[in-house]
Structure 1
Amino acid sequence: MASFMHASVSILLLSTLTSAMRGDYSPTQDICNPNDGFGIYCPTTCGVADYLQRYVPDMDRELDQMEQDLEAIANITRGAQDKVVYLKDSETQAQKQAPDTYIKKSTSMLDDILRFEKSILAQEDQIYQLQSILQANEKRITDLKQMSQQLDQMCKEPCKDTVEIQTVTGKDCQDIANKGAKVSGLYYVKPARAPEAFLVYCEIDSFGRGWTVLQRRRDGSVDFNKNWIQYKEGFGYLSPDDRTEFWLGNEKMHLLSVQSSVPYVLRIEMVDWEGNKKVKGMV
């Protein structure tokens, strides 16, 4: 800055001296000049001093302004340099951190991809299972439709009772035998105090005696561990070939046993696993 100021002053002074050498400078009003011809061809000390007194203040102001402008430019330059340094440091730091960041992002993306693949495989397996269930249900529906068609066809024909029930009825099985029945099987009986007839199995022997079977145990197919109401009403199944287990019922036994003054005979038949048979009768 100082050398610049000296260069400016030298240029101005040289121009002034040049003008004075050409005779452009007029010192007639200068108090240092004793006569009109003083300093015409060569500027005197007084002329130079007067010039400096008149123009140096403007030069100082311009130089101050120039110094301020240069200071501003220097500040801007320093700011730009600081910015460049910051950017370089940021770039260097980013370059250092970039691999780790990319590795972390890549690892995270791979984890997401693996998780999505597992989810897709699980969903595909679930879809496969659902398809298997759907196919099984479709087959079952087809079978049910065929069964329904068969049942519809069967229902179009008159229903036939496959259980053979004898036509003879009476107060009990002995009454039925007295009426000429000779075949053991299912019969309807209606004791004197019974509100309606009910089904029993009558065993008719060769002597013409009719036995009303109260209980039949064969293979344990029926659970006899029942409550009082079930024993009262009866349970199990009656069959015309006498192959099923049952208990006739306490109420029906009572109706059979109290309808006549003639005592009934209770006969108990027991057979073991080897086929040995025991019979016990009591009045």
Structure 2
Amino acid sequence: MAICNPNNAFGKYCPTTCGVAEYLSKYHSDADTDLESMLRDLEIISNWTQGAEQTAEFMKDSVTLAQKSSTSDMYYKKSSNMLDDVTRFQLTIFQQEQDIIKLQHLISSNEEKMANLKRLAMVLQEKCDKPCKDEVEIQTITGKDCQDIANKGAIISGLYFVKPALATEQFLVYCEIDSFGRGFTVIQRRRDGSVDFGKDWIQYKEGFGYLSPDDTTEFWLGNEKIHLLTADTSSIPNVLRIELIDWAGNKKCAHSNSKII
């Protein structure tokens, strides 16, 4: 197979996306560290809460003792103030307990997400044990157009380099080769609306979209390339084939033998 040099025409197919596993492997260790830090913070908050509860109990006991030992107004006021402090402590403790519950739920949720990420990383790692191919499969046979390539023995539809008679250099096209040995050079592919075809004249002249080896992407080959493919009058007359498929999968096609300029 021919080597695929990086080119905008290949879109997302060069290189492949096996680097996702490396990305997860790089960052999931940081997530583990953050999770451990949250657990330590939760333990500290729990210790503070326990200390606050002990202080509140001590203050309650002190108030009770003071009320039993004296009935004077001074001690009564001190006891009342201490009771107010106890109430505030109890409210603080209650709020801390609520915060702890929320943190526990958050930690449980993060642990579940981390487990899912680890499982995903393992799956991706298994898929990417073999070196990732940073190249698109391009067939080795070349010709003036896809029919010329089919005449030379090509039977597989896919990406081929062509060089029409009037072209100064070869360019990449998708060839659709049927069981009858007919090779069609695909000049446009519309599938799912993933590519915006509302372009200006320059973009239609140069072409846009993405070529893919499995013919799953949208593109316009470009007016200049189409002209080069059809301008050679010495070769076999060109046939324009138009295929339309509805949402139910029904296919209709039409052919035109008129000269294409």
Q: What is the alpha-carbon distance in structure 2 between the residues aligned to residue 211 and residue 230 of structure 1?
A: 23
* Post-superposition CA distance 1:91-145 (Å, at most 9, x none): xxxxxx949x947972x65554444333322222223333333344345445545
What residue is the counterpart of 1:71 in the other structure?
Answer: none
What residue is the counterpart of 2:162 in the other structure?
Answer: 189
Q: Contact conserved, 1:269 with 1:280, CA < 8 A, in 2?
A: no
1:159 CA displacement: 4.3
Q: Percent identity?
A: 45
Aligned match of 1:131 in 98, 101, 104?
104
Tell me whether 1:254 sits opposite 2:224 in the alignment.
yes
Aligned match of 1:268 in 231, 242, 251?
242
Q: What is the alpha-carbon distance in structure 2 between the residues aligned to residue 146 and residue 170 of structure 1?
A: 47
Alignment of 1:92-241 (within 5 A): 98=73, 102=76, 106=80, 109-141=82-114, 144-145=117-118, 148=121, 157-159=130-132, 165-191=138-164, 193=167, 195=169, 197-198=171-172, 200-218=173-191, 220=192, 222-224=194-196, 227-228=199-200, 232-236=206-210, 238-240=212-214
Question: Are residues 213 and 136 of structure 1, via their aligned partners in 2, closer, same or farther at CA, if it must alter by over 3 Å?
Answer: same
SS of residue in 1 equivalent to 2:159? strand
Higher relative contact order (CA 8 A, sep 6+): 2
1:247 CA displacement: 0.8
1:156 CA displacement: 5.0
Q: What is the alpha-carbon distance in structure 1 between the residues aligned to residue 90 and residue 197 of structure 2?
A: 59
In the alignment, residue 158 of structure 2 is paired with which amino acid?
G
Q: Would you say how many aligned residue pairs link Structure 1 and Structure 2? A: 179
Structure 2 unmatched runs, 5+ = 1-71
The CA RMSD over aligned residues, in Å, is: 4.1
Q: What is the alpha-carbon distance in structure 2 between the residues aligned to residue 276 and residue 151 of structure 1?
A: 37
In the alignment, residue 183 of structure 2 is paired with which amino acid?
G
1:153 CA displacement: 6.0
Question: Are residues 128 and 201 of structure 1, via their aligned partners in 2, closer, same or farther at CA, if it must alter by over 3 Å?
Answer: same
* Post-superposition CA distance 1:45-96 (Å, at most 9, x none): xxxxxxxxxxxxxxxxxxxxxxxxxxxxxxxxxxxxxxxxxxxxxxxxxxxx
In the alignment, residue 277 of structure 1 is paired with which amino acid?
K
1:160 CA displacement: 6.0
Larger of the two Rg values belongs to structure = 1
What residue is the counterpart of 2:252 in the other structure?
Answer: 277
Question: Are residues 157 and 236 of structure 1, via their aligned partners in 2, closer, same or farther at CA, if it must alter by over 3 Å?
Answer: closer
1:194 CA displacement: 5.8
Q: What is the alpha-carbon distance in structure 1 between the residues aligned to residue 254 and residue 109 of structure 2?
A: 56
1:202 CA displacement: 1.2
Q: Contact conserved, 2:146 with 2:185, CA < 8 A, in 1?
A: yes
